[in-house]
């Protein structure tokens, strides 16, 4: 998924003549802390709410404000992971997108990235999540898949990460069932450790946001 496919159709760029008060109002409406300043299609820089507060004169045009972040941006053909990396590293709430001629195309918001990340991880498809923990030498995705498919289910996505114990793995499975009782019972019968399961919408939303936050921190290390 490329940057140009993630551009918001809601967030508007500022002109140099727009006031800091107007910028802060837009930031509140869009629930962001940054906005791009654009002259025609020339990207001039990214202004933050902190930049405006530091000047202590919000009625001044944003063109008069010094910009702490200057010109962070991504090219329209950069991958979503590169967009997330920049957003995470600079702690941005949005990322401007430019074409090869350095012309401004729009912005990608953190909210849109979260939504697209969920799509990439099959999060929007109905189902539940099971987290397993096992020794590294016991890990077999084919056996795990056989257990799931033996319960008339299928794995929509999987994620493998190191556990707190360096000799163990944590395997997260998105499965196309909302009732995971029989699948978990089979895992237990095969001596797998089921760390947690998530079946209702509220638990899943919290789980997805937590995993996205962890992913951002991982990219920022």
Per-residue pLDDT of 155-190, as tens digits, reads 988 878 777 787 899 898 989 988 899 999 999 999
Domain coverage including residue 84: 3-113
Q: Check: CB of residue 67 under 8 Å from CB of residue 46.
A: yes
Read off the CATH number of the domain in which 125 is found: 3.30.70.260
Task: Give the model's pLDDT for residue 210.
Answer: 66
The DSSP secondary-structure symbol of 35 reads: E
**Are 8 and 105 in a shared domain?**
yes
- In total, how many domains does the chain have? 2
Distance CA 55, CA 131 (A): 49
Average pLDDT over residues 28-36: 94
Mean pLDDT score of the chain = 85
**Are 176 and 139 in a shared domain?**
yes
**Are 97 and 131 in a shared domain?**
no
User: Positive or negative, the Cα torsion across 200, 204, 207, 209?
Assistant: negative
Task: Give the model's pLDDT for residue 216.
Answer: 60
Per-residue pLDDT of 83-117, as tens digits, reads 888 888 888 999 999 999 999 999 999 888 877 76
**Are 48 and 91 in a shared domain?**
yes
Segment holding 202, helix H or strand E: helix 201-219
Structure tokens at 118: 């969920």
Task: Give the model's pLDDT for residue 11.
Answer: 93
Structure tokens at 84: 């997330």
Distance CA 87, CA 221 (A): 13
**Are 10 and 39 in a shared domain?**
yes
């Amino acid at each position: 998924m490329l940057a140009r496919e993630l551009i918001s159709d809601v967030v508007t760029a500022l002109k140099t003549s727009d006031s800091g008060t107007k910028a802060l109002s837009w930031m509140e409406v869009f629930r962001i802390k940054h906005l791009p300043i654009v002259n025609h299609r020339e990207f001039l820089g990214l202004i933050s709410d902190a930049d405006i507060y530091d000047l202590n004169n919000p009625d001044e045009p944003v063109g008069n404000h010094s910009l702490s972040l200057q010109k962070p941006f991504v090219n329209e053909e950069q991958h979503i992971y590169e967009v997330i990396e920049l957003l995470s590293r600079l702690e941005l709430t949005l990322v401007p997108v430019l074409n090869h001629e350095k012309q401004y195309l729009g912005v990608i918001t953190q909210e849109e990235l979260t939504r697209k990340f969920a799509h990439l991880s099959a999060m929007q498809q109905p189902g539940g999540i099971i987290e397993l923990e096992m020794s590294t030498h016991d890990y077999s995705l084919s056996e795990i898949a056989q257990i799931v498919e033996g319960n008339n289910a299928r794995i929509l996505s999987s994620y493998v990460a190191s556990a707190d114990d360096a000799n163990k793995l944590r395997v997260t499975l998105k499965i196309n069932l909302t009732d995971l009782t029989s699948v978990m019972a089979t895992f237990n019968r095969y001596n797998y450790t089921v760390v947690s399961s998530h079946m209702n919408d509220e638990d899943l939303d919290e789980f997805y946001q937590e995993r996205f936050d962890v992913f951002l921190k991982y990219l920022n290390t």
